[in-house]
Each structure stands twice: as structure tokens, then as C-alpha cells.
Amino acid sequence: MSLSLPHVNWFGKSVSIPDYGTTSGRHQYDAYLAQNLIPKVHASEGLLSYNHPFGYGDVPELPQSQQDAMLVQTAKGMLPTSSAPAALGTDLLEVGYQLRQGVDLAHHVALWDIMSRNAFFLTGNGTNDDHFGQDWLGPMNNWFSSVWAHSTGVGDLLAALAAGRAWCASLSRYRGSLDLLVDGTVPMGSVSVSKVTSRKLVAHATAVPAGGRLQILQGTVDFAGAAELSANTKVIGSYSASQLTGRSVTQQVDTAKASFVRTQVLDSAGTPAGLSNPVWLLRAAPPGGIPAPRQT
């Protein structure tokens, strides 16, 4: 769905070309997406991805200060309004861009973290809005998406995406798998509510590159909204491949404050090459509730 920005991809069993009617301009398009097209896709049991959130241009990397300003502007535009939910009601967000519209991977991931700190549950995915479809080892933006699903049937794949049972990675730099499990019952992508102040996280990672690391990151869920449009994630654990006994590591996580936790794989140069989806560890139910696929 790409009449204007944002471009939105439809995943489902009954994908069709949308009819935009007399819609014109960004404002009308946003409203039409949020109030008409996206609800129709959901009614057909489909999912939608909010694509290349900073734009689609193939331009050189912009100065960090300009990227910071774009991050604030884009995050503000994705917050809910009186006429549209967060991210217009989409289910996924493209985060796997090494560089798009002059914006680097760190700022794409930071945008995702801002959504997570506000308890907007978007499944992070790779470069699904690809305009080439060939030689994915070659392009810079070659991040693919994987899910833990019961089968390769479309229904099971959609269910896994909706539940956040997904990770994404650069095809040329990481071919392993990622997963999270909290207290033995709360899988990656889920939202758990508990008053306990410490929880046991098992982080799973295979094929961590030689010289690379698995990092565990945590961000406070503080519902800051427009008052603080920045990522608040911090590294709370870092492990070499040799420390991943049985392809996993166990770590206690401080949950005295509501938070989300995710992992990332770094290559030997210290550059992120793979990202897990978060698990949210809240102390009270979020104002917008917990989507059914993410409940434990």
C-alpha cells in the first residue's frame, strides 16, 4: 500500500490491490490507511508492516545530528492521535536497514525502541520492502526475517509474526537463530505482567560469529510519549560465543521497573548483525491492553 508515505506491506492469505478512492496527499492517506485499509486487512486475518519509516531514498549517510532530528520527527509521527492508533495500527516495523534515506541502522533500531518503551508492540522485521529480489548477499540492506512457527503454512507464519516470535539479521553477516524465554514460560515477543523484582532470562543464540558477541539490552517502559523521543536501552549483558553454553546464556533481570528486553548479535567489528524481538516485563497492564497473540 504505497499511494504515499508511509509504505505498508500486507502479509496474508488474500492480498489484493487496494482501492484508494479519491484519497490524495499524506494527511488523507494516513487517515484512509488507519480508518479503512488497515482494519480491512486485519478483518481478513492479515498483518501489515510499516516500511522504511524515515523514507525510501538511496542517499549518503546524513550527519548524526540530522539523523537525531529525523528520529524525533518520525517517532512523533508514529505516536497515536485522536484519529489513528500508534504506527497507524500496523503490526510490524522495518528495522533491518543498514542505511535508508541517509539514516543508519542505529536510528532505525532506536525508533523501534521508542515504540517499545511506550508499550506499542511492533514486531521488528528486516528489509521486506525490497525492490530488487535478487543477490541478497550483495546489497547493503540485506536483512531477512525469520520466525519460530509450528509450520511453514501461511497461517502459522502470520501467527508467529503477530506474536513477535521473530528475529532479523543480515544475510551476509549472520545465519544463526535468536530466541528469549523468561521464567520458563514467557517467550520472545510476549508481554508478561508481574510484581516480582527479578526474573530469569534465558537468551538463545546460535552461530555467533568468531570474535562477535551476544548482547542483552534492557529499556524502561515509562510511557514517555512525546515528552522523551529517544531510545533508553542499555546493555546489561555481553557474551562471547564460547560463553554460550548449550547455545544459550541465563541471566537475572532487574524488573523493579517495567521494562522490555531484547538481544543483538555483534560481528567481529562490533557492528550489529542480528536482532531479536523484545519480551516486555511489566508491573501492571498497559493502558492499551495486551494483544491476544502476545499474552502469556
* pLDDT the model gives residue 60: 97
Q: How many domains does the chain have?
A: 1
Domain that holds residue 111: 8-294
Helices (H), ranges, the chain = 25-32, 38-43, 64-78, 105-117, 154-162
* Residue 3, in any domain of the structure: no
* pLDDT the model gives residue 183: 98
* Residue 2, in any domain of the structure: no
* pLDDT the model gives residue 134: 82
Residue 174: pLDDT over 80: yes
Q: In what order do the strands lie in the sheet with 47-50?
A: 8-11, 47-50, 92-94, 123-125
* Residue 245, in any domain of the structure: yes
**pLDDT tens profile 1-16:** 888 899 999 999 989 9
Going by pLDDT thresholds of 50, 70 and 90, the confidence category of residue 138 is confident
* pLDDT the model gives residue 27: 83
HSE of 230, CA atoms in CB hemisphere, 13 A: 6
Look up the CATH number of the domain holding residue 191: 2.60.40.10
Going by pLDDT thresholds of 50, 70 and 90, the confidence category of residue 211 is very high
**Which candidate, 212, 217, 231, places its Cα nearest to that of 262?**
217
Residue 131: pLDDT over 80: no
Compute how many other C-beta atoms are within 10 angstroms of the C-beta atom of residue 39: 12
* Residue 1, in any domain of the structure: no
C-alpha cell at 220: 524502561
**pLDDT tens profile 75-112:** 999 999 998 999 999 999 999 999 999 999 999 999 99
CA torsion, points 6, 62, 74, 130, in degrees to nearest 10? 30
